[in-house]
């Protein structure tokens, strides 16, 4: 069974001893077998199925998530990731045969996926169950020993993960470390074979700096200001509902791929605002602060940060819907702001909450320049039926992922890589991409003792030089010419 490290006694010395134990297990070859990998993946499925209500309760305690949102966006997605890995694992583990060249004839070659070793997963608080275990699935599928550090900002889920993984997983290969800054710092001092971090850019830089001391590769799943471009030639009701689902239906905007702001034309903005008001009232009622379908703000620090964005003088009078707050309950209603200045505070950082600014432009094509003038986002969305505009969007906008005529759903497609670019992240995962991110692609070339050409060895002659040049650029005919001195 996977053990849980007591956070009160966990320091750099404890971390070092833990990593040493895990490396001993990995070096024994235990985690490399197909049987071990599948046993652990099946254990994760069983854990999820047998403790669904406890998981829902922990998520509600940490974020006031509804049971439906918890099931769809965390529990079901996690089970699906496990089942995809179980179904495809033999295929993923199979070496890939590749072609060789005339230079190495006769020979054969393959690419072998091997586990990296002992890896660290540092998780986030906003989807504390899914974002903790989804990378662990990839690490286990690839045959690694793994340490999970859940987020202390979601304490109920962190505690539950520690207990359940302790009960269901292999103690010698899978560990959970609870705690906060001190425990994370102790972990980062160790030498890992890979570090997978989900969170913000500030901590991402700390993780990368710590990893650099050991030349440890990292995956950084960060965030950014994910834009939504809205054209006027659309089904407005469907588009509006999909924007709302991606913004407020995803943890009340506390999601790395939630729409951060909208760009539309000045002429179309009033229609869009009216549609947002109508659909928001349908979804969350006249008093959204009391809606059971909206998550609360995670803690008082984030509540104060979001309040500061609304109190900025530059956005005074820009609220066209919402803006209600209840500090004692850590609730902020869905809030729409129109014609927010681009140099305002709300446009200078990722919002990560229920506030949605709308920027307006004269021509929709100008929106691409607005997006590309800032750091590359984790996701970007467009609603349009204009084929040329779609193609321009895909070719012009650089983001971790794009969705046309919807929001956030690319996250659920396991055949697509999920990850950032630039300041929104490094590396990707989901499906086979998770397996690959925790694997080393080892090149293997096989040769026999036949075909040992003297051209490789001294003494080097003009004839050998002609043959070498022919091998490189002339093909079979060039080699014949070189051998016989033909021009």
Angle of the 34-50 helix axis to the 155-168 helix axis, nearest 10: 130
Residue tagged 């006769």 (tokens): 106
- Sign, CA dihedral 232-237-239-240, equals positive
> What average pLDDT does the segment 427-444 reach?
98
Longest Cα–Cα distance of the chain, Å, equals: 91
What is the token pair recorded at 370? Answer: 């607005």
Query: How far is residue 54's CA from residue 74's CA, in Å, rounded to a whole number?
Result: 13
Residue tagged 């009033």 (tokens): 270
Enumerate the active-site residues: 221, 256
Give kind and range of the element (H or E) at residue 266: none
330 with 61: CB under 8 angstroms?
Answer: no
Query: How far is residue 399's CA from residue 187's CA, in Å, rounded to a whole number?
Result: 31
**Three-state DSSP state, 407:** coil
Which residues share a beta bridge with 472?
A: none
Residues 442-481 have pLDDT tens digits of 999 999 998 888 888 899 898 888 877 777 765 665 555 5
- Res. 4: pLDDT tops 70: no
What's the pLDDT at 453?
Answer: 81
What's the pLDDT at 7?
Answer: 44
What's the pLDDT at 474?
Answer: 59
**Three-state DSSP state, 65:** coil
**Three-state DSSP state, 306:** helix
What's the pLDDT at 486?
Answer: 55
What's the pLDDT at 454?
Answer: 84
For residue 160, how many other CB atoms are within 10 A of its CB? 22
For residue 330, how many other CB atoms are within 10 A of its CB? 17
- Res. 440: pLDDT tops 90: yes
What is the token pair recorded at 329? Answer: 């309950």
Q: Give residue 52's Cα distance to chain centre.
A: 24
> What average pLDDT does the segment 199-224 reach?
96
Q: Give the Cα-Cα-Cα angle 126, 132, 133 (nearest 5 degrees).
A: 135
Cα 372 to Cα 64, 72, 337, 360, 399: the distances in Å are: 35, 33, 22, 16, 9
Task: Name which of 61-70, 101-110, 339-348, 375-384 the model is least confident about.
Answer: 101-110
Mean residue pLDDT of the chain comes to 94
- Res. 67: pLDDT tops 60: yes
Residues 169-184 have pLDDT tens digits of 999 999 999 999 999 9
- Burial label for 119, CB within 10 Å (0-12, 13-18, 19+), is buried
Residues 277-303 have pLDDT tens digits of 999 999 999 999 999 999 999 999 999
What is the token pair recorded at 7? Answer: 């956070």
What's the pLDDT at 468?
Answer: 77
What is the token pair recorded at 312? Answer: 């900025």
Percent of the chain with pLDDT over 90: 89
Residue tagged 């869009």 (tokens): 272
DSSP classification of residue 352: -
Angle of the 236-247 helix axis to the 269-284 helix axis, nearest 10: 60
Residues 114-168 have pLDDT tens digits of 999 999 999 999 999 999 999 999 999 999 999 999 999 999 999 999 999 999 9
Q: What is the DSSP track for 165-233?
A: HHHHS-TTTEEEE--SHHHHHHHHTS--SEEEEES-HHHHHHHHHHHHTTT--EEEE-----EEEE-SS
- Burial label for 422, CB within 10 Å (0-12, 13-18, 19+), is middle
Give kind and range of the element (H or E) at residue 18: helix 12-27
For residue 383, how many other CB atoms are within 10 A of its CB? 26
Residues 379-398 have pLDDT tens digits of 999 999 999 999 999 999 99
What's the pLDDT at 316?
Answer: 87
> What average pLDDT does the segment 339-343 reach?
94
**Three-state DSSP state, 351:** coil
**Three-state DSSP state, 324:** coil
Q: Give residue 275's Cα distance to chain centre.
A: 31
**Three-state DSSP state, 355:** strand
What's the pLDDT at 168?
Answer: 98
**What order do you get walking across the sheet with 425-426 strand by strand?**
4-5, 174-177, 145-149, 118-122, 194-198, 218-221, 425-426
122 with 150: CB under 8 angstroms?
Answer: no
What's the pLDDT at 471?
Answer: 72
Kindly give the pairing relationship between strand 331-332 and strand 325-326.
antiparallel
């Amino acid at each position: 069974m996977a053990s849980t490290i007591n956070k009160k006694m966990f320091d750099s010395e404890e971390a070092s001893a833990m990593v040493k134990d895990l490396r001993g297990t990995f070096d024994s070859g235990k985690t490399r077998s197909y049987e071990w990998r599948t046993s652990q993946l099946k254990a994760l499925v069983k854990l999820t199925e047998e403790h669904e209500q406890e998981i829902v309760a922990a998520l509600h305690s940490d974020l006031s998530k509804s049971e439906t949102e918890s099931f769809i966006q965390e529990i079901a997605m996690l089970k699906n990731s496990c089942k995809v890995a179980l179904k495809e694992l033999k295929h993923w583990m199979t070496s890939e045969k590749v072609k060789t060249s005339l230079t190495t004839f006769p020979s054969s070659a393959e690419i072998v996926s091997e586990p990296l070793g002992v890896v660290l997963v540092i998780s986030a608080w906003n989807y504390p169950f899914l974002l903790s275990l989804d990378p662990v699935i990839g690490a286990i599928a690839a045959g690694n020993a793994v340490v999970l550090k859940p987020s202390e900002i979601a304490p109920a889920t962190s505690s539950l993960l520690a207990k359940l993984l302790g009960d269901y997983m292999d103690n010698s290969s899978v560990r959970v470390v609870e705690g906060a800054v001190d425990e994370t710092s102790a972990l980062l001092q160790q030498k890992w074979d890979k570090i997978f971090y989900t969170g913000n850019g500030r901590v991402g830089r700390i993780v990368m700096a710590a990893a650099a001391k050991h030349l440890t590769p990292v995956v950084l799943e960060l965030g950014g200001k994910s834009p939504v471009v809205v054209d006027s030639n659309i089904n407005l009701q469907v588009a509006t509902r999909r924007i709302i689902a991606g913004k407020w239906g995803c943890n009340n905007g506390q999601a790395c791929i939630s729409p951060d702001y909208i760009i539309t034309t000045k002429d179309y903005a009033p229609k869009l605002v009216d549609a947002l008001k109508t659909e928001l009232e349908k979804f969350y009622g006249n008093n959204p602060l009391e809606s059971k379908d909206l998550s609360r703000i995670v803690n008082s620090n984030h509540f104060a940060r979001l309040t500061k964005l609304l109190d900025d003088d530059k956005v005074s009078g820009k609220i066209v819907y919402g803006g209600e707050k209840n500090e004692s309950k850590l609730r902020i209603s869905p809030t729409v702001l129109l014609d927010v200045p681009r140099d305002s505070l709300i446009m200078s950082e990722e919002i990560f909450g229920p506030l949605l600014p709308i920027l307006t432009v004269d021509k929709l094509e100008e929106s691409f320049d607005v997006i590309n003038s800032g750091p590359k986002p984790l996701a970007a969305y467009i609603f349009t039926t204009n084929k040329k505009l779609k193609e321009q969007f895909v070719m012009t906008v650089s983001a971790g992922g794009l969705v046309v005529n919807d929001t956030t759903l690319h996250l659920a497609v396991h055949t697509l890589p999920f990850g950032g670019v630039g300041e929104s992240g490094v590396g990707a995962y989901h499906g086979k991409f998770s397996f690959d991110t925790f694997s080393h692609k080892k090149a293997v070339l096989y040769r026999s003792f036949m075909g040992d050409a003297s051209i490789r060895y001294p003494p080097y002659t003009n004839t050998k030089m002609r043959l070498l040049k022919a091998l490189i650029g002339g093909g079979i005919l060039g080699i014949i010419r070189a051998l016989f001195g033909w021009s």
